[in-house]
Amino acid sequence: MEKSLVIVESPSKAKTIHKYLGKNYKVEASMGHIRDLPKSQLGIDIEKNFEPKYITIRGKGPIIEKLKKEAKNASKIYLATDPDREGEAISWHLASLLNIDINEKCRIEFHEITKNAIQNAIKNPRKIDMNLVDAQQARRILDRLVGYNISPLLWKKIKRGLSAGRVQSVATRLICDREKEIEDFKPEEYWSISAYLYKEKKSQSFEAKFYGTKDGKVELKNENDVNKIVEDLTDDYVVENVKIGTKKRNPSPPFITSTMQQEASKTLGFTAKKTMMIAQQLYEGVEIKGEGSLGLITYMRTDSTRVSDEAKKAAYEYILRKYGKEYANPNATYSKKGGNVQDAHEAIRPTYIDLDPEKIKDSLKPDQYKLYKLIWSRFLASQMSPALYDTMNVDIINKNYVFKASGSKIKFAGFMAVYTDDEENENEDKMLPMLNSGDFLKLKELKPEQHFTQPPARYTEATLIKELEEKGIGRPSTYAPIISTLLERGYVIKEKKNLKPTELGFIVTDVMKEFFPDIVDVKFTAQMEEQLDRIEEGIEKWCDVIDEFYNGFNDSLKIAEEQMKDIEIKDEETDIKCEFCGRNMVIKYGRYGKFLACPGFPECKNTKPLYEEIGVTCPKCGGKIIIKKSKKGKIYYACENSSNCGTMFWDRPISETCPKCGALLVEKYSKGRKIIKCSNCDYVK
């Protein structure tokens, strides 16, 4: 009996799907893309309406031959690539190579790898959506035109190995512009006055902040302003207004790609690249004891917060069983603000809500468990009731001056029984003592404080992704590769979690601003994304969009080729001598960050790692503690003489010792909060 052939991208996805389809189906993997533009040339015929010249990707020949052989013997072929533009393009290439009629209903689509989803998809095949294919093709051609025309110029005028990209160049500019804001920032002085008050002798004091006078708010700009007020204050603090109420805190919506990457960065310390890699594993299927291979989450490249009725119902029933009716919210709905939302997708959620992370912890790798728990908890919380707080807001009068105090306390946990930001929760859960209008309060301490405005923070991976999303730049699938490219090209380095532009990043950005202002213009790039969306919707033709872009771009390219001057980038010299030739070694940037190299290259090819010091001395031998990386890329801290003394830490040590045992203290972050503890005993500061 002839079998139907189902083609997916990866073997793990094939394995999970096969268990739901049975013996009448054969499931094979294409191992991702099988055709692409050639690497050695532009691969686009500009004179023929930008016609792309696709070739078979090197190494994919045997896979294609196997797929052709299986297709010849199959009664029916289903193309089950990912449910997005890129997946649609892969199906189109497969159809072309396997001689499948473009009008044949061969494409199946699902957003979760479950039995119902797979079997429903098989029952409802559709034609390949050429609008989706054209949108992907337009993006690929745009990126190729930009990259393959500007990159050689950068190689020639600045240094080899550089690249420019339609989206990566904007991301680099954002990071560079933020750094300039920080450099140009001029702090401004301001002051605050806090009064720590109490009602009765044994009662705990609470903080009331200076607001102004009965006539309105007063800004405290210098010490003189503060001293005048402090001198004028008396010991008589009287409660004037007490406002008691209830505050509702709603749960966050379930994850989309960008929010998942942001939260995984903040709470788990994952890079965007790592988050997407683990999410892909959870989506395609993981071996669960007693169950076989299961797809644990829905498709992880999405910008929609929509949830299917079936998933809502399952979550509602689970919450009823586990927490009770008051915790369940049958009307939980979320809508993504802004345009360009692919609402055919769902939010990222667990495929089986009953698969509690703790139930399957033993079947998951530690990082898989952490991300799955984050996704599972966030989704479940999104379907639960709001949290309720009792609140109190108080105005306190001293002569004509007004101080304000506020407090809140959890009345009903709601969704916070499952998922919350601990830091935010801690700040909110502080109630004032019972106060009434006319109460006299006693002063424990009056604390005037000087402050200075702070410069904007450098981007982290999480905040850069948030910025790109808010400005409409890129798509869910592009954020992780963009950041990886910036680091690999040496345009940006990581300092702790912060993204800091290098001199090279500034130089390339300045060149792009001068000669290709549209390419690094945020609004222009966002408009290009909108045009790609219009191609997907069938409103615009892809070749017209490319033609409109290319006319202006080609003019800029000609000017750049004529006017761009050579730029010399001098390497930063160190006082570290090359042990082979005696020259002072210089700092270079590679895909894994800084390293030391001999400036005598190519005569002397000596290189060595450049270790960053953290300002802490080794307690054993007095050497410097430096940052190192394990073979798997995990950061650790070790003595520069660690081969002799053996001192190392997984958590970052600080220059303080434990009062109990004398060992160095270390700092670590848990759920966004810093914890200082002993590296040797159970002491926690």
Give the active site residues: 299
Nearest to 511 by CA among 590, 468, 565, 549: 565
376 CB-contact burial (10 Å; exposed 0-12 / middle 13-18 / buried 19+): buried
d(CA 542, CA 531): 9
Distance CA 215, CA 218 (A): 9
192-195: long-range contacts (C-beta < 8 A, 24 or more apart)?
A: 192/220, 192/448, 192/449, 192/451, 193/220, 193/226, 193/229, 193/230, 193/446, 193/447, 193/448, 193/449, 194/446, 194/447, 194/449, 195/237, 195/396, 195/398, 195/403, 195/443, 195/445, 195/446, 195/447
Query: In Å, how far from its chain's centre is CA 46?
Result: 36
The 3-state DSSP class for residue 236 equals coil
What is the token pair recorded at 156? 């020639």
Report DSSP letters for 546-608, one per residue: HHHHHHHHHHHHHHHHHHPPP---PPEEEEEEPTTT-PEEEEEEETTEEEEE-TTTTT---EE
- 3-class secondary structure for 20-79? HHCCCEEEEECCCCCEECCCCCCCEEHHHCCEECCEECCCCHHHHHHHHHHHHCCCCEEE
∠ CA 496-303-542, nearest 5°, is 110
Q: Do 447 and 196 meet the contact criterion of CB atoms below 8 Å apart?
A: yes
SS3 315: helix
Return d(Cα 629, Cα 621) in angstroms, integer.
Answer: 21
